[in-house]
Amino acid sequence: MFQSRRTPHLRQTIYVVGILLLTFWIVMAGLNSKTQIERIAERGTLRIATLNSPLTYYVDRDQPQGYEYQLAQSFADFLGVELEIEVATDPKRLFQKLDSREVDLLAANLVRLPQRDAEHRSGPIYRTESLVAIYRVQQGYTPPASITEALDMKIEVLVDSGESSFLTDLIETKFENQLDGSNTLKVRELTNANRLDLLTRLQNRESQLAIVPASIWKSYASYHPELGLAFELDAKLPISWYFGPSQDESLIERAELFFGINQTQELLVKLESEPAPRSNPLNYFDTTAFREGVEQRYTELRPYFAEAAAETGYDQLFLAAVAYQESHWRADAVSPTGVRGIMMLTEDAALDVGVTDRTDARQSIIGGAKYLRKVEAKIPERIAEPNRTYFTLAAYNIGFGHLEDARILTQRAGDNADLWSDVAKHLPKLEQEEYYSTTRYGQARGNEAVGYVENITQYQRILPTEALLADIRKLQIEMPD
């Protein structure tokens, strides 16, 4: 019988392959034997996915903020690992990240729904959410007072959201049996969008009603003075985290322990009581103009503010707020007195800080920041923040000499010349002859200086919110369906 000489080699190859396969399966079995908590501890990070909104996650002054962010960060601390955040554009994409094992859990103010629980694992319920219907205020228009009065209106909700599920159930139980098909509830689900987009679409008259969580409306009502609350729906929706596919319950069990401890309960009470973001201090017309400025000009100028901040040590949002007050972020701005550019520098001030072209956006912003530092250097060192910044702004606006005159008037009145709130009371006196005639530098627009400081403080406060909205809207435009 013929026998191949390669047989021993073939047997040896089969033997080696078998050993390798056995080793591979032993290693894989060892990996699979680890619980999810052990894998997270080994990795050193807890990976979550969330949405951009005040109740979930947003960035304020380069610092992450948000209800869900703070809660998730506390949970990561509880586990002794770092927090890693992924941001999705809508709930549908959130669950795609979870199903593909990109993240360990979803922390995004998600309503606990039967259809979600059928496919995913939900955690403890830690809050409830109400739903409200928002409309665009118009003269002579009376909004619907209930969902029954909203039949045949253009109603929009976010796709795969708790409000979408609630309205779907409502249609099936209450409105599906209309005899002629008229007077039915017409709901459009927006994809590749977020709830803030719903408010923007209302503002732009692209819909008639938006159904959103009450917490979202509470946070952003002051930023949309053109919108109003039509009615609240009869809904109390349970909110929970959702967890990724796993053969063990170790992560959920740790989450249950986390939500049960006193520290977490105290954090939840604190988060429910805190407004996020702060209410908008501007009126309707100021808000509209500011929003347009953010969308049309600020986003392009932001790198220059970041560069100026790095060079001078100022907060970039502070510099942006000063620039908006000066020129509404217009590089070609010119005043009757000859100051020009985004930071409205005089010719002498521009030369002093090395600006050769005041209409060049980058030069103006960096030069303006440098000039602010020069002004600040004149403020007595004993004056601490925030008074130091307020005095610097006032001096930038009307000149250091006039500020000193106002501080002298403050002293004469028996008030504290190192306290901005006291000096602000006396700055307007520089417009009255009986007072400015006794000062070294004479008449000045004191009221304007006070308003200047107040406006910059307000712009700095709301800029993170408006920038976030602009970024989200830009992301939705660029994101393919």
Radius of gyration of the chain (CA): 30
DSSP string of 277-311, one letter each residue: SPPP-S-HHHHHHHHHHIIIIIHHHHHHHHHHHHH
249: annotated active-site residue:
no
What is the SS3 assignment for 126? strand
Measured CA to CA, the distance from residue 120 to residue 122 in angstroms comes to 6
Element (H, E) at 362: helix 361-376
Q: How many CA atoms lie within 13 A of 265 on its CB side?
A: 5
Nearest CA to 56 out of 71, 74, 69 is that of 69
Taking CA atoms, 421 is separated from 49, 377, 386, 410, in Å, by 44, 21, 11, 10
Assigned token pair, 8: 């021993």
Burial class (CB in 10 A: 0-12, 13-18, 19+), 72: buried
What is the SS3 assignment for 215? helix
Assigned token pair, 464: 């993170």
Q: In what order do the strands lie in the sheet with 45-50?
A: 82-87, 45-50, 105-111, 237-243, 121-129
Pairing of strands 63-65, 58-60: antiparallel
Assigned token pair, 334: 């010119």
Q: Judge contact between 373 and 356, C-beta under 8 A.
A: no
What is the SS3 assignment for 58? strand
Q: How many CB atoms lie within 10 A of CB 3?
A: 6
Beta bridge partners of 264: none
Nearest CA to 311 out of 376, 366, 372, 364 is that of 366
Q: Judge contact between 316 and 380, C-beta under 8 A.
A: no
Catalytic residue among 68, 129, 156, 326: 326
Catalytic residue annotation: 326
